[in-house]
Amino acid sequence: MNTPAPTPAAPLSIEMRARIEALCRYIDAHAEQPLSLADLAAQARLSSFHLQRSFKALTGVTPRQYAEAARLRRLKAGLRSGESVTEAIVDAGYGSPSRVYERVATHLGMTPGEYRAGGAGSRISYAVEHTALGWLLMAATDRGLCFVHFGDSAQALIDRLAAEYPQAEISAMSEAARPQFQAWMAALATQLSGAASSAAGQLPLDLRGTAFQMKVWAYLLKIPPGELRSYTEVAAAIGHPAAVRAVASACAANRVGVLVPCHRVIRGDGGLGGYRWGLERKRALIDAERGV
């Protein structure tokens, strides 16, 4: 049974957009403080209901989700600046270290201590092969594929992976892991060629992002090969019709190319829009999936 499309929300007035944008700045400046919905509604001079509705329409997330993301950014900034883990946790407003480990580990992709050390202690294995669309690097943690990128050379891709995880233990695939990586590469190569295959869609993924990004990526995984959606359609489908730019940003932030098919999202006028690995590759992927 087809699910009816969400009813588009009325566009926000200029005044309402200004109030929400001002509230976002307020949350960013007070991320370490406990900010209840009632407190934020009073700050914006809105009822809790209208704040919740308008905030989500503009940003794509709830006030609570935005506040949690702001607090996480504060924590990351503290860890990167050289603060001790405890100092960074306290300065970001978390009640206790245990709470941090419970709530933010999935967004950091590692423990706060590992993040402060640039991924120290994390193990990432990779393989690089030349494909029909150029060099491709596929990297995985013990949870699944975390990094699938195209590039102009094998070394450039390895350097990019190292820059993403500067202190992680990064190594080429071991002999023991070679059969698994080869199977993953074969599944991906099949998809790159445009041949029908369900194998690529079953590969384990280790996706890390904000709540909104994860919602966008989850929807992208449901778009069948050969079909396209506009950024506007994706925004409406995930229940945030006003968050078109945020959808485009989430697509651009995707670290797992092809397998999370951001190439299947285009502009409403039929233009390709953007693609972090180049528009020629985006067009080639679309054409291959459509049998052109």
Please give the positions annotated as active site. 262
Question: Would you give the DSSP letter of residue 173?
Answer: P
Burial of 23 (0-12, 13-18, 19+ CB in 10 A): buried
* Residues 6 or more apart in contact with residue 98 via CB below 8 angstroms: none
Structure tokens at 87: 């100092």
Structure tokens at 242: 């006003």
Give residue for tokens 């590039």.
151
Instruction: Starting at the earlier edge strand, list the strands of the sheet with 145-151.
Output: 145-151, 134-140, 123-131, 169-172
CA distance 268 to 281: 20
Question: Would you give the DSSP letter of residue 53?
Answer: H
